[in-house]
Amino acid sequence: MSAGWRTLLLRIGDRCPEYGGSADHKEHIETCYGVLCREYEHSKDAMFEFLLQCADQLPHKIPFFGVLIGLINLENEDFAKGIVDTTHANLQDALHNENRDRIRILLRFICGLMCSKVVLPNSIIETFEALLSSAATILDEETGNPSWQPRADFYVYCILASLPWGGSELFEQVPDEFERVLVGIQSYISIRRHFDDIAFSVFETDEGNSPNKKDFIEDLWERIQVLSRNGWKVKSVPKPHLSFEAQLVAGVSHRFSPISCPPPTISQSSSEIVKGQEKHEADLKYPQRLRRLHIFPTNKAENMQPVDRFVVEECILDVLLFFNGCRKECAFYLVSLPVPFRYEYLMAETIFSQLLLLPNPPFRPIYYTLVIIDLCKALPGAFPSVVVGAVHALFDRISNMDMECRTRLILWFSHHLSNFQFIWPWQEWAYVKDLPKWAPQRVFVQEVLEREIRLSYFDKIKQSIEDAVELEELLPPKAGPNFRYHSDEGKESTDGHRLSKELVGMVRGRKTQGDIISWVDEKIIPVNGAKFALDVVCQTLLDIGSKSFTHLITVLERYGQIISKLCPNEEMQLLLMDEVSAYWKNSTQMIAIAIDRMMGYRLISNLAIVKWVFSPANVDQFHVSDRPWEILRNAVSKTYNRIFDLRKEIQTLRKGLQAAKEASEKAARELEEAKSIIEIVDGQPVPSENPGRLRRLQARADKAKEGEVTTEESLEAKEALLARGLEESKELLRLLFKSFVEVLTERLPPISVDGDVPNLRAGDPNVNSAARDPEATTMEIDNENGGDNDSQLNGQNKKISHNVGELEQWCLCTLGYLKSFSRQYATEIWSHIAMLDQEIFVGNIHPLIRKAAFSGICAHK
């Protein structure tokens, strides 16, 4: 029977999956309560824990759990008081451990308990005022630290987010005290610093620079003010307690004890860099939960009040949070929210906003991919068309989309289509074939098709676009190796062919790496030189490992030393990457995999990869292909992942060393105690302990000491590797930013005589006049992406130089990726900010470069 009441609790408040209306909540609650009463004596402790767990992990159903606890409170006050006291302890613990989600949900929970007459309204007011007081203290220059405003904002956000769930009851029962809280919130809003998050905007427009744009807290406060003017009526929050009000009013309300917030972190320095680092740390600990992505026009999206939109967004985010890793359960609860209206458009916008959230989504992008797939299956008549509309809307604005978000969208879309037989109305996008090769929409379609081929095979994807044969031009070449020394009867045999064939024979003959290295040193290098030797060896080994990814790994493991011997410096490593690129010129995926694996085996350094990516041939591809950026992302990511892994290993080893020292000391102490026990035999002191036991204790002490020494040596080795890794990461960061600065400085249009920074979008005359070749012919180019004029690089029917348009797009892409790296590795940048300021961003650096490099990590730069 215990499984029965648990299932009833989990399903309480669910809606019909196909939006068929709400269940009878009153009847469901009465049934649940009846079962709980029958099982109370046998399962009291289990019910206590399970109710708390349900409120914690199904927060969109808190009103229903609150009513159940309120009904139990009528019969057993101690049970309800225990719930209240445990909730207080959990909230206090969450505040001091900075558990953001638990703080927010527990505040909502006590509001739900208050609605069901379990908690006194004045206790809620005291809790709100404690949070407001702490928030105001944080912003105080003398007693707090304004750099930690994100924590203060979070406290106020938690109060505001709980008002739709309990504001009506607070307004009715303690109006004066409630008004005092609202006045306190207004005072806080007036003294806090406005947060401009344009650096984290999905769409790179000038809208974020508007002084009238509200940030997330200001927007939420405005929604709550509208709610207040409407009498605190919220459609999206169920009110099951109203059906039981006559019963619940007879219950005893319990006091929720006062809470204490952790003291503000006092700044240790007035340095701007230190303040910036503190603000960055605060942003990491208290990130903004949602950045709204308005995909659909107002005539398509559901018509709901601003606060209802906020509540449904919160419920969707809560389900995504607590059911990550359980995709089917997540989809079930997403389509079963207890609200009286449809919300699939809002659900799509919210999920896409999380998928494209900058700098990182809360969970791996694959999670959102799977949830969207399951939602399409759960709501086959509604959600697939919403997803199609979202893709079209995002595609129309792709030229203004942040480069990191564009990459995520490509990866998501290709994976999504692979789960639906690659079916898509490609004929609607066939026009992109006639756009310039650098046009964002054309590049998007090209990259999606390339990623689809990775997930399937060439002929399958070619068949999927048979209704838009024009797009076949955008397909990559059919994957296959391009072996330079392939033996053909009609092809003239050269030294390279002969040596390659001989090397294949040695590999098949299981010759050792030493034998092959000696053969290379004696037969190839003296006659043809080291570069020719690298050419033959690399091409041949790549061909041997070309059958599969596993074959490639095997070749690199067995014969990596040969390549390492031929590539002792960066110059030779650059040639090695040229060889990889030439061999796999028809497979972007294999180029990226081969270079990534070679870096993993330390055949290629991360610095060499950066230099190769920024070589002229690759720089020219920055705006027309993701290939160089994929390789660069892999290299930088692998570098910092190594450091992260080393830090985890060192932390584990330090704990192990402490345990080993304690074990060694204990073993030595036991041995000494055994030796200290003596007795007199024939007038001579001798150990009284059994010699066999002494030997065992000695062996145990020796083994423990050996374990301590081994662990200490391992720790020292890992710390040395970490120090080396940190130095490598510093050099990588220096080279990466230096390379960005150099290529951008060469191509960015200069600042005007009046000091105006050129606008690379929407046909800025400064850009055109600065970069145009006076003799270049002009041509008519239609509005490139078919969207509104604000989202295009070139206005419709505007005469421009083709080269100017391409230059604009190259600069926008490169600046976009610079900003992406800045956001992604902001913590590492802060560690070396002084070095970057003194060595890289010195002199007359173009303002657009500085803005892209620093906008993602701090506001004062």
Is 50 exceeded by the pLDDT of residue 780? no
| pLDDT tens column, 233-287 | 999 999 999 989 999 999 899 999 999 999 887 776 777 777 888 888 888 899 9
Domain 58-285 and domain 495-639 have a common topology? yes
Q: Which of 693, 743, 732 is nearest to 836 (CA)?
A: 732
Distances (CA, A) of 706 to 470, 544, 710: 71, 46, 6
Question: CA 97, 102, 104, 110 torsion: positive or negative?
Answer: negative
The whole-number pLDDT of residue 36 equals 79
| pLDDT tens column, 506-537 | 999 988 999 999 999 998 999 889 999 999 99
Q: How crowded is residue 851: how many other Cβ atoms within 10 Å of its Cβ?
A: 16
Q: Spell out the SS3 assignment of 538-589.
A: HHHHHHHCCCCHHHHHHHHHHHHHHHHHHCCCHHHHHHHHHHHHHHCCCCHH
Element (H, E) at 415: helix 403-418
Architecture of domain 58-285: Alpha Horseshoe (1.25)
For tokens 């969450």, the residue is 94
Distances (CA, A) of 132 to 77, 93, 589: 31, 18, 53
SS3 254: strand
Is 90 exceeded by the pLDDT of residue 141? no
Taking each helix axis from N to C end, the angle separating 570-583 and 606-613, rounded to the nearest 10 degrees, works out to 60
The whole-number pLDDT of residue 281 equals 87
The answer to whether residues 832 and 735 touch, using CB atoms and an 8 Å cutoff, is: no
The answer to pTM > 0.85 is: yes
AA letter at 483: F
- As a whole-number percent, the residues of the chain with pLDDT over 70 amount to 88
144: which DSSP letter? S
Domain 495-639's class? mainly alpha
The residue with greater pLDDT, 13 or 664, is: 664
Q: How confident is the model at residue 688 (pLDDT cuts 50, 70, 90)?
A: low
Q: How far apart are CA 24 and CA 13, in angstroms?
A: 8
Element (H, E) at 649: helix 627-676
The whole-number pLDDT of residue 66 equals 92
| pLDDT tens column, 149-198 | 999 999 999 999 999 999 999 999 999 999 999 999 999 999 999 887 77
Residue boundaries of the structural domains of the chain: 58-285, 495-639
The whole-number pLDDT of residue 30 equals 84
| pLDDT tens column, 20-61 | 344 567 888 888 888 778 777 777 888 888 888 888 888 998
Q: How crowded is residue 371: how many other Cβ atoms within 10 Å of its Cβ?
A: 24
Helix intervals (H) in 76-147: 77-97, 100-115, 121-139
| pLDDT tens column, 275-332 | 888 888 888 899 988 888 889 987 777 788 999 999 999 999 999 999 998 899 999 9
- As a whole-number percent, the residues of the chain with pLDDT over 90 amount to 60
Q: How confident is the model at residue 496 (pLDDT cuts 50, 70, 90)?
A: confident
Is 60 exceeded by the pLDDT of residue 1? no
SS3 424: coil
- The mean per-residue pLDDT over the stretch 604-624 comes to 95
Q: How far apart are CA 280 and CA 536, in angstroms?
A: 50
**Range with lowest mean pLDDT among 5-19, 87-101, 511-525:** 5-19
The whole-number pLDDT of residue 306 equals 92
Q: How far apart are CA 730 and CA 833, in angstroms?
A: 10
The whole-number pLDDT of residue 773 equals 40
Tokens of 349: 């916008």
The answer to whether residues 127 and 79 touch, using CB atoms and an 8 Å cutoff, is: no
Mean pLDDT, rounded, of the chain: 86
Taking each helix axis from N to C end, the angle separating 25-57 and 2-11, rounded to the nearest 10 degrees, works out to 90
**Range with lowest mean pLDDT among 37-41, 203-207, 368-372, 454-458:** 203-207
Q: How crowded is residue 831: how many other Cβ atoms within 10 Å of its Cβ?
A: 15
Is 70 exceeded by the pLDDT of residue 775? no
The residue with greater pLDDT, 630 or 685, is: 630
Using alpha carbons only, how large is the chain's radius of gyration in Å? 33
- The mean per-residue pLDDT over the stretch 1-15 comes to 55
